[in-house]
Structure 1
Amino acid sequence: MNAMTGELVEDFGKIINKIKKEASEYGAVVITGSGKAFSAGGDMAWLKDRSQDTPSRNSQIMHDFYNRFLCVRSLPMPVVAAINGPAIGAGMCLAMACDVRVAARTAKIGFPFVSLGLHPGMGATHMIASVAGYEVAYRLLLTGDLVSGDEAKELRLVSQVAADGPAAQAEAMAIAERMAAQAPVAVRSLVRSLRMKQDQGLEAALWREADAQAHCYNTPDMREGLKASAERKAPRFEMYESYLDNRKSNL
């Protein structure tokens, strides 16, 4: 399901660097998933390891992790995501980092971070709002809802839908080919202009997300979320903290 393992991170970075070094060979890029899924999101074993680490380290580790996938935005040419199947959590965040998205009608799409007891990361709080608006961001991030490709189009998360995974890949390739057929200097400078506008505030959002995730990792809710996910059952969250300082003062 193309979970974002350490091995996948390394391989993805190598491919992005190769494209950047050979940029003159590419007019546009299409990203899709191997098999029937785009990406099932974060690797559960890796997330569990984070609960054993310190908040200060986790904040830096998560920020670095985000950027190792968001480096797709450093490519000088347009990038189209072909969402051929499930795109969940960080997997869908990668798709949101692309310039255009095409989804299979049957694809399951969503950001169920809170269902794991975890604050969203990898630019979710910034990119969803910038593409589809704040109301969509609030709804999808706070509920963890999964939507179909058709509903994703209604919500403006994707620009087009196709009958199935292969059709989504074919349509994404057709869009990329039309982009690649245009004047290269104009296209690349336009990509830069659009991303510079969209990326305003992104770095601050990434650090805010990294810090918030670091707060979540070693909580009972996170442990319950991971356990429930592994057992394929609904989690039972109970950590409702009071923010009142009820300690008695000696002053």
Structure 2
Amino acid sequence: MSAPSALRHMKFETVADGVALVTFARPEVKNAFNRLMMDEALAIVDELAAGYPARWRAVVVCGEGDNYCCGGDLEMFREMLGQPRHAVHAFIARFHQWALAWDALPMPTLAVMHGPVVGGGVPQGLICDLRYAAENTVVHFNFMHIGLVPDMGSHFIVPSLVGVGRAYELMLAGEPIDAAEGLRLGLFTKVLPTREEALAAATKRASVIAAVPPDVVAHSKRLLRNARHSSLSETVAQEVACQADRFLDPVFAEKIAGFFAKRARRAS
């Protein structure tokens, strides 16, 4: 599936060499996801994967308007009340495809979060490899307050960032966390004063990443992902295999030759 030619609830553009920008663009409802928005989001993921690495080697995701995303549209949820279990299960599974597909992208993903970020919007941001935030960002796992459990991979993502004990407190008590506390806990990579500054910083970082040989970045991202559920010995074995491939790659030989050539010039 390719990205629709006329997106209604999402924006998708190239903002720098090798860098794509994905924007949640439903600000009138705080960028809440409905069915069409999810269809568009999944189509964009397909487009990103198909365009890697020739067109895109890093992707930034942000929200339009006053906040990043407030998760699923409650109007849509209300429509599902009373439906048979198999229909509800299929509906929820469809939404969770995004988390799996986004996490599986070979290129690094960078979130730019701002304003109140609640419900499913929280893991949609935290699942990204790097997470930039504006100072007015407040994340709130409010699932419990409406009778739901955190989802979109929350039970995997949050403990990996802050530890199991703190994850219990964040997800079960559902207390809001501001940008400063989120940075201290490790939810955020960096906090900037405004959304615009956070977006500029994330785009700049994405451009740096996009300039690195893409297979090197993809190898490292895969190792980091696999290490979540691998032992040290398994991770080391994967690193050895990847590094052996790198040593045999012409790009590595060129970099080494360039290093010694530069050192020889300095010495002469």
Q: TM-score, normalised by structure 2?
A: 0.70
- CA-CA distance at 1:69 after TM superposition: 4.0
Structure 1 counterpart of 2:191, from 161, 171, 174: 161
C-alpha distance in 1, partners of 2:156/2:229?
Answer: 9
Matched, 1:20 2:49: yes
C-alpha distance in 2, partners of 1:11/1:199?
Answer: 31
Matched, 1:100 2:130: yes
Question: Considering only aligned residues, what root-mean-square deviation do their CA atoms show, in Å?
Answer: 1.6
1:33-112 equivalence runs, <5 A: 33-112=63-142
C-alpha distance in 2, partners of 1:70/1:88?
Answer: 19
C-alpha distance in 2, partners of 1:98/1:38?
Answer: 13
Structure 2 counterpart of 1:177, from 201, 207, 232: 207
C-alpha distance in 2, partners of 1:102/1:196?
Answer: 23
* Structure 1 outlier segments of 4+, above 2 Å: 54-61, 196-200
- CA-CA distance at 1:182 after TM superposition: 1.8
Q: Give the counterpart letter for 1:39 in structure 2.
A: C
8 Å contact from structure 1 (residues 9, 69) kept in 2: no
Matched, 1:198 2:228: yes
Q: Secondary structure at the match of 1:76?
A: coil
2:34 equivalent in structure 1: 5
Mind listing any 5+ residue stretches in structure 1 that lack a counterpart?
201-251
Structure 1 counterpart of 2:154, from 99, 116, 124: 124
8 Å contact from structure 1 (residues 100, 159) kept in 2: yes
Query: In the TM superposition, what whole-angstrom CA distance separates every residue of 1:62-95 from its partner, at most 9, and x where no partner exists?
Result: 2232113431112110001011332211011111
C-alpha distance in 1, partners of 2:129/2:97?
Answer: 16
Query: In the TM superposition, what whole-angstrom CA distance separates every residue of 1:123-171 from its partner, at most 9, and x where no partner exists?
Result: 1111101111112211111111111111111111111101011111111
Q: Give the counterpart letter for 2:88 in structure 1.
A: N
- CA-CA distance at 1:56 after TM superposition: 4.1
- CA-CA distance at 1:198 after TM superposition: 3.1
Larger strand percent = 2
2:15 equivalent in structure 1: none
C-alpha distance in 2, partners of 1:169/1:85?
Answer: 13
Q: Rg: which structure is higher?
A: 2
Question: Relative contact order, CA 8 A, sep 6+: which one is greater?
Answer: 1
2:218 equivalent in structure 1: 188
Identity over aligned pairs, percent: 28
Q: Secondary structure at the match of 2:191?
A: strand
8 Å contact from structure 2 (residues 114, 138) kept in 1: no
Q: 1:103 and 1:15, CA in 2 relative to 1: closer, same or farther beyond 3 A?
A: same
Matched positions, count: 200
Q: Give the counterpart letter for 1:78 in structure 2.
A: P
Q: TM-score, normalised by structure 1?
A: 0.75
Q: Secondary structure at the match of 1:49?
A: helix
